[in-house]
């Protein structure tokens, strides 16, 4: 049994390491590389989402949906900065560039949101905002 102890310990450490690696929040779709966040050429689209200095442009449609659903710009930015992308709801091959479906819960009232965001050269364009838990009647938003 003493001969097997180091191998068992090594196997346990390996399993713990894998569990920790795959259970971290905010690691979806990212490599373990280190990026220079000040160099715009080395940033990926997801890095732009996490940039606190990023400029946001809210489309007329997004502003209307936010007003109807009682969602603030601060809450939208909070969800975008977490950058938890739902790739099955995203359109990465769109004619006018990729659109990401970013999802999460707001810290203020735990609203479960999906934000459709299109990264542009100089800003992040918020296309629409959806409350995933509650159906809202927004007749004036077209």
Q: Is residue 138 part of a domain?
A: no
Residue-wise DSSP of 98-134: -BEEEEEE-TTT--EEEEEEEE-SSSEEEEEEEESS-
Structural domain includes residue 139: no
Whether 87 is in a domain gets the answer yes
Q: How far apart are CA 75 and CA 65, in angstroms?
A: 13
* Per-residue model confidence as pLDDT tens digits over 49-70: 777 788 999 999 999 999 999 9
Task: Note down the domain range covering 122.
Answer: 5-131
Instruction: Pick 10 or 130 by higher pLDDT.
Output: 130
Instruction: Classify residue 140: in a domain, yes or no.
Output: no
Q: Is residue 107 domain-resident?
A: yes
Domain count within the chain: 1
Rounded to two decimals, the pTM is: 0.66
Q: Could you tell me if residue 136 is inside a domain?
A: no
* CA 59 vs CA 6, 113, 128, 129, 134: distances in Å: 59, 17, 8, 10, 22
Q: Is residue 141 part of a domain?
A: no
Predicted pLDDT at 14 = 76
pLDDT of residue 37: 37
Q: In this structure, is residue 142 part of a structural domain?
A: no
């Amino acid at each position: 049994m003493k001969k097997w102890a180091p191998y068992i310990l090594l196997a346990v450490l390996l399993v713990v390491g894998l569990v920790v690696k795959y259970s971290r929040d905010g690691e979806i779709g990212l490599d373990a590389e280190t990026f220079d966040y000040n160099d715009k050429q080395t940033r990926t689209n997801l890095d732009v989402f996490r940039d606190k200095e990023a400029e946001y442009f809210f489309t007329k449609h997004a502003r209307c949906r936010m007003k109807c659903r009682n969602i603030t710009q601060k809450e939208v930015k909070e969800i975008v900065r977490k950058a938890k992308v739902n790739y099955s709801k995203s359109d990465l091959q769109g004619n006018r560039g990729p659109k990401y479906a970013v999802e999460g819960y707001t810290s203020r009232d735990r609203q479960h949101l999906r934000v459709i965001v299109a990264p542009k050269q100089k800003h992040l364009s918020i296309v629409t905002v959806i409350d995933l838990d509650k159906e809202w009647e927004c007749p004036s938003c077209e």
